[in-house]
Amino acid sequence: MLFVRFAALIALLTGATAAQQPAPAPGPAGPTITVTGEEPQAEPKLVCKYTNTGTMLRKRICKSKAEWAKAEHDSEDALKAMRDWQRVRCGFGSGC
């Protein structure tokens, strides 16, 4: 019985000393990777425009230059398609 108490006391003391020791310093996170010839891409600068919403209030829309160019190109294509459809439907110069 004395041996069991002695073993429990040793286990308690070694556990307490292990808890008081500082944790080992973390190792390196991994190798640092450097890619030459490539620059980090910056966020595109936003261009904001105001549009009418049908009320006295105006709505602010912000997009990048590329998004504005794509929207303009898409709207031009849609307008061209409507004009072509009208020519096919009404005939050239019939004015329907």
With a cut of 60, say whether residue 92 has pLDDT above it.
yes
Q: What is the spatial distance between Cα 44 and Cα 67, in angstroms, rounded to a whole number?
A: 10
CB 50 within 8 A of CB 59: yes
pTM attached to this predicted model: 0.48
Q: What's the start-to-end Cα distance of the chain, in Å?
A: 111
- Please say whether the beta carbons of 44 and 66 come within 8 A: yes
Residue 42: pLDDT band with limits 50, 70, 90: confident
Residue 10: predicted pLDDT: 78
**Is pLDDT of 12 > 90?**
no
Check: CB of residue 52 under 8 Å from CB of residue 58. Answer: yes
Helix (H) or strand (E) segment spanning residue 8:
helix 2-20
